[in-house]
Structure 1
Amino acid sequence: MSFPLLSKNSSPSTLTLVILSLTVVGFIFLTVSPINSGFLTCSRPISASSDISVSTTSHTAATHETTSSTVKPEFRLLLGILTLPELYERRHLLRNIFALQTYDQTVAQIDIRYVFCNLTDDEQRVFVALEVLRYDDIIILDCKENMNEGKTYSFLSSLPEFYGDQTYDFVMKADDDSYIILDKLVESLRDKPREDMYYGLKIPCDTKNFFPFPPFMEGMGYVLSWDLIQWISTADLPRADSIGLEDVWTGKWFNIAGKAKNRFDMAPRFYDYLGNGQKNCFRHEFIPDSILVHRLKKNYMWAETLKYFNVTSELKPSKLYHIP
């Protein structure tokens, strides 16, 4: 837009035209400007200790008002998924699955971390560094990679040092072959006690007691209250006896010490993928009210599971792809 230049000889009509043009421009700026209309927003990642900021907009005939209020979630959950450094494809799949899920963030704040031991080669160092730069969701423990030689103890016992006192209400240890439905998990945890709490699929779940040191929560995924995490990090018992089947040994510590008195068995909502296996108390067909499905070892198992739960049902038609 251009304006006529004013000179000493400018006529009154020219001056009026300039004033009118400036008035129109000013009106457009005040009406359309994103700063004035509330379209300009600022966001930041929510840290483990922060509350959730919720913006609400109210409309009237004459005003457009935006007010902000801070909502403290009812609980905070750290979800630690134990995996291996080289399983980049699995982490990519899990990140996509979690990103597509929704849950009530006024009820829960969930921070998801992928957990493994020290890196061992240059490929891992470069590729994992890329993940950290992009997602910042990885915990690397100071240990040699293992399954049942203290990795879970290293993870649980390190958390108070990593996060400080009472940062989270709950910590969930899960396997990377577990499909976790977050909104169902949130609703299930909502009424659980915040102290001395141990939650998962209790083993043994039938009359055959073929496991040592029962009962315990199966390693597919179990939740501990923060006070139990603090106890694990300071007590002599778990420190001196951390080598063994990780889920069995976790239950063993609590059983010997008289801890975790508030126990919640989530059968049949926690279970193993059935496939061609035989049904039992921890392996059965999919159910709509599932919270966690375990032993998804192959991609076709993941595909079958995600199809059952209609994870891709909101896929929109497009000229750019053809997915029947």
Structure 2
Amino acid sequence: MKLLRLLCRHKTALGLGGLSLFAVVLLYLANGPKYTERRSIIRSTWLSTAGRPPHEDVWCRFVVGTGGLGGDELRGLELEQSRHRDLLLLPELRDSYENLTAKILAMYVWLDLHLDFRFVLKADDDTFVRLDVLVDELRAKEPRRLYWGFFSGRGRVKSGGKWKESAWVLCDYYLPYALGGGYVLSADLVRYLRLSREYLNLWQSEDVSLGAWLAPVEVKRVHDPRFDTEYKSRGCNNKYVVTHKQSIEDMLEKHQTLAKEGKLCKEEVKLRLSYMYDWGVPPSQCCQRKDGIP
């Protein structure tokens, strides 16, 4: 199909010449009416200023694997692309939970080959981002070996369910990794992943895999409790920059509250305690939850 061939061409043909400060890529696991609605809501809320002043240096794409899709689904994506031009279609990848790690690696390979950028935010489709805060802070950061998010070092290896890790033999815990609801990498680490891709093991969880891939690398790991990116949200805090596990209604409310009141939360709510990562102790002792942390 013309659209799929076009996405494989050089960046100048794609209109991607020049330097983008920041690439935002959102991963999608399936396609259907509810996912189309999620993309629409994200476009109209926290991504609404991307590509325009003051965020003209932000480049955003929704990443979709199109392998195995039927004609109607492909035509629907073509129509959506013609309207919004913000899909990154991976024709050789079938979208599924089992392929999520392969998908994220393919996405990073594509980015390094086709786009000049300094940082990338990977976020899920149920994540809300304070794009203004994130971009302002990234403008002041050096684009070198940065791995920024909310880290875990004591995650027990999953022995069942869809995230079961049958091939994990490194240790009895996962290696320290930034939780996958949203994290930032500098472009040099993305290049490292592309150059190393033939040697990388693909575990079931993409965020666990990334932590293992970067474990032997000299990386600046920045644990930030303003990234509310665990398997369930810790609540609403006006300091949060990235918030995972958000419904469509949550996104609309946060966007409207920001527009009207200049803050994220109508009312701050704490559902569970947070922690600061202690890099001076073994990873299994890293993360003691305490009050007073966002």
The TM tier, using the shorter chain, reads: 0.5 to 0.7
Q: Is residue 266 of structure 1 aligned with residue 235 of structure 2?
A: no
Cα RMSD for the two superposed structures = 2.9
Q: Is residue 94 of structure 1 aligned with residue 42 of structure 2?
A: yes
Whether the 8 Å contact between 2:181 and 2:230 is mirrored in structure 1 is no
Q: Which runs of 5+ in 1 are unaligned?
A: 1-45, 52-74, 278-282, 315-324
Cα separation, 2, equivalents of 1:90 and 1:107: 22
Match of 2:238 in 1: 288
Pick closer, same or farther for the CA change 1:203–1:170 going to 2, 3 Å: same
Percent identity of equivalent pairs = 22
Query: Partner amino acid for 1:270?
Result: F
Match of 2:160 in 1: none
Whether the 8 Å contact between 1:173 and 1:223 is mirrored in structure 2 is yes
Whether the 8 Å contact between 2:50 and 2:59 is mirrored in structure 1 is no
Whether the 8 Å contact between 1:48 and 1:111 is mirrored in structure 2 is no
Q: Is residue 203 of structure 1 aligned with residue 152 of structure 2?
A: yes
Shift of residue 106 of structure 1?
6.4
Whether the 8 Å contact between 1:202 and 1:218 is mirrored in structure 2 is yes
Pick closer, same or farther for the CA change 1:160–1:175 going to 2, 3 Å: same
Whether the 8 Å contact between 1:81 and 1:114 is mirrored in structure 2 is yes
Cα separation, 2, equivalents of 1:130 and 1:249: 34
Whether the 8 Å contact between 1:103 and 1:183 is mirrored in structure 2 is no
Match of 1:116 in 2: 64
Asked which structure has the greater RCO (Cα within 8 Å, sep 6+), the reply is 2
Cα separation, 1, equivalents of 2:121 and 2:84: 20
Match of 2:5 in 1: none
Whether the 8 Å contact between 1:90 and 1:176 is mirrored in structure 2 is yes
Q: Which of residues 191, 196, 220 is equivalent to 2:140? A: 191
Pick closer, same or farther for the CA change 1:144–1:273 going to 2, 3 Å: closer
Match of 2:96 in 1: 146
TM-score (structure 2 length as normaliser): 0.68
Shift of residue 192 of structure 1?
2.2
Cα separation, 2, equivalents of 1:232 and 1:176: 23
Pick closer, same or farther for the CA change 1:270–1:161 going to 2, 3 Å: same
SS at match of 1:95: helix
Match of 1:162 in 2: 114
Q: Deviations over 1:236-288 (max 9, x none)?
A: 56x44123210011010110x324x2111121x111599xx7xxxxx422111
Match of 1:82 in 2: 27
Match of 1:246 in 2: 206
Whether the 8 Å contact between 1:218 and 1:247 is mirrored in structure 2 is yes
Whether the 8 Å contact between 2:50 and 2:60 is mirrored in structure 1 is no
Query: Partner amino acid for 1:258?
Result: V
Whether the 8 Å contact between 1:81 and 1:113 is mirrored in structure 2 is yes
Q: Pick the structure with greater CA Rg.
A: 1
TM-score (structure 1 length as normaliser): 0.62
Pick closer, same or farther for the CA change 1:106–1:154 going to 2, 3 Å: same
Cα separation, 2, equivalents of 1:153 and 1:89: 26
Shift of residue 152 of structure 1?
1.0
Whether the 8 Å contact between 1:103 and 1:182 is mirrored in structure 2 is no
Pick closer, same or farther for the CA change 1:98–1:301 going to 2, 3 Å: closer
SS at match of 1:134: helix
Cα separation, 1, equivalents of 2:73 and 2:155: 41
Pick closer, same or farther for the CA change 1:129–1:222 going to 2, 3 Å: same
Whether the 8 Å contact between 1:193 and 1:262 is mirrored in structure 2 is no
Aligned residues: 227
Query: Partner amino acid for 1:292?
Result: V
Whether the 8 Å contact between 1:81 and 1:174 is mirrored in structure 2 is yes
Cα separation, 2, equivalents of 1:131 and 1:232: 30
Q: Deviations over 1:186-240 (max 9, x none)?
A: 1222332211111111114xxx553533211110111111111111111156x44
Query: Partner amino acid for 1:82?
Result: L
Pick closer, same or farther for the CA change 1:82–1:156 going to 2, 3 Å: same
Query: Partner amino acid for 2:64?
Result: F
Cα separation, 2, equivalents of 1:253 and 1:133: 36
Whether the 8 Å contact between 1:148 and 1:246 is mirrored in structure 2 is no
Cα separation, 2, equivalents of 1:273 and 1:173: 14
Pick closer, same or farther for the CA change 1:90–1:225 going to 2, 3 Å: same
